[in-house]
């Protein structure tokens, strides 16, 4: 046995029981795949509303040749921006709920089980980071407080695209579980 294999085995023996104790301590009947899918569905809808209304706003403020904004109803921009701000603000408690439900997965053992698992964890990292930064910078924009050096509009727009990509990848990876737990009659949690 090589030194590296021996080290990995010792780490596994030391950390596996600890990870199991942490997961046991965090166990809750509400922390299950069904609740993850329910909160995730609400988050996905909210993100799509924010993305669509944000695109509309962006193309009005930075016109492109192929986009012709509708002239009627006159208050469309106000409605879309109101929806963007309200739904964007609602993302904060939804995100906290989703993170609370999936938090024990942070302590699964082994943390990664192969290259696909590494990519899944990395995409979830991008998803969580952008999902937290976007609503917080949006709220600070509503307050007109800019404690950063970068352009809010350009960065918010770019992060929205990164979030949508990470969200689509996350949904694709989790699709079998989502399908199983979409309705009440889904199988029990693994």
How confident is the model at residue 190, as a pLDDT?
46
What is the number of structural domains in the chain? Answer: 1
More confident residue, 85 or 109: 85
Do the domain assignments include residue 4? no
For 116-148, the DSSP string reads: HHHHHHHHHHHHHHHHHHHHHHHHHHHTT---S
The answer to whether residue 49 is domain-embedded is: yes
- CA pair distance 108, 119, nearest whole angstrom: 16
Question: 40: domain CATH number?
Answer: 1.20.950
pLDDT value at residue 22: 79
State the residue range of the domain holding 55.
Answer: 34-181
Tell me, yes or no, whether 40 lies in a domain. Answer: yes
Rounded Cα–Cα distance for residues 22 and 15 (Å): 10
Q: Can you point out the beta strands (E) in the chain?
A: none
Instruction: State the residue for tokens 């800019």.
Output: 146
Domain assignment present for 110 = yes
pLDDT tens-place string over residues 33-84: 888 888 999 999 999 999 999 999 998 888 888 888 887 888 999 999 999 9
Does pLDDT of 189 surpass 50? no
Residue 188 is assigned to a structural domain of this protein: no
Residue 104 in tokens: 């024990």
- Per-position b or e across 109-125, b if 16+ CB within 10 A of its CB: eeeeeeeeeeebeebbe
* Domain-located, residue 175: yes
Q: For residue 8, what pLDDT band results from cuts at 50, 70 and 90?
A: confident
Please give the DSSP secondary-structure letter assigned to residue 107: G
Is residue 68 in a domain?
Answer: yes
**Mean pLDDT value of segment 104-109:** 81
pLDDT score for 27: 77
Q: What does the pLDDT look like over 117-169, one tens digit per residue?
A: 888 888 899 999 999 999 999 999 999 999 999 999 999 999 999 999 999 99
Does 17 fall in a domain? no
Banded model confidence at residue 187, pLDDT cuts 50, 70, 90: low
């Amino acid at each position: 046995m090589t030194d590296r294999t021996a080290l990995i085995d010792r780490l596994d023996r030391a950390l596996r029981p600890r990870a199991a104790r942490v997961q046991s301590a965090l166990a809750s009947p509400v922390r299950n795949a069904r609740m993850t899918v329910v909160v995730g569905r609400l988050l996905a809808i909210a993100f799509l509303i924010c993305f669509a209304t944000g695109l509309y706003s962006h193309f009005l403020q930075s016109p492109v040749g192929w986009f012709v904004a509708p002239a009627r109803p006159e208050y469309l921009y106000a409605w879309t921006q109101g929806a963007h701000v309200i739904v964007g603000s609602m993302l904060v408690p939804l995100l906290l709920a989703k993170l609370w439900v999936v938090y024990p997965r942070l302590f699964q053992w082994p943390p990664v089980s192969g290259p696909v698992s590494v990519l899944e964890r990395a995409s979830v990292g991008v998803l969580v980071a952008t999902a937290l930064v976007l609503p917080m910078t949006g709220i600070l924009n509503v307050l007109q407080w800019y404690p950063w050096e970068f352009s809010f509009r350009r960065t918010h727009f770019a992060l929205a695209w990164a979030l949508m990509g990470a969200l689509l990848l996350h949904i694709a990876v989790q699709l079998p579980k989502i399908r199983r737990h979409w309705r009440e009659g889904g199988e029990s949690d693994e």
